[in-house]
Amino acid sequence: MNRDLHSIRRDYQFDDLLEDQAGEDPLALFDAWLEKAIESDSNDPTAMTLSTVDADGAPHARIVLLKQRDESGFSFFTNYDSDKGEQLKQNNKACMTFFWPALSRQVRIQGKVEKVSREASETYFASRPRASQLAARTSQQSHVIENRGVLQAAFEKQEQDFENKDVPCPDNWGGYVLKPDSIEFWQGRPSRLHDRVCFSKSDTQWLRVRKAP
Ligand X SMILES: Cc1cc2nc3c(=O)[nH]c(=O)nc-3n(C[C@H](O)[C@H](O)[C@H](O)COP(=O)(O)O)c2cc1C
Considering the complex, what minimum distance in angstroms separates the CB of residue 17 from ligand X? Answer: 26
Considering the complex, what minimum distance in angstroms separates the CB of residue 187 from ligand X? Answer: 23
In the complex with ligand X, the residue whose CB is nearer, 65 or 151, is: 65
In the complex with ligand X, the residue whose CB is nearer, 6 or 129, is: 129
Contact 15, 104 (CB under 8 A): yes
Considering the complex, what minimum distance in angstroms separates the CB of residue 147 from ligand X? Answer: 18
In the complex with ligand X, the residue whose CB is nearer, 83 or 181, is: 83
In the complex with ligand X, the residue whose CB is nearer, 16 or 81, is: 81
Considering the complex, what minimum distance in angstroms separates the CB of residue 70 from ligand X? Answer: 17
- State which amino acid sits at residue 188: G
What whole-number distance in Å separates Cα of residue 52 and Cα of residue 62? 9
Helices 148-161 and 130-138, packing angle to 10 deg: 120
Residues at the site binding ligand X, with contacts judged by CB under 6 A: 44, 47, 60, 62-65, 76-78, 82-84, 141-142
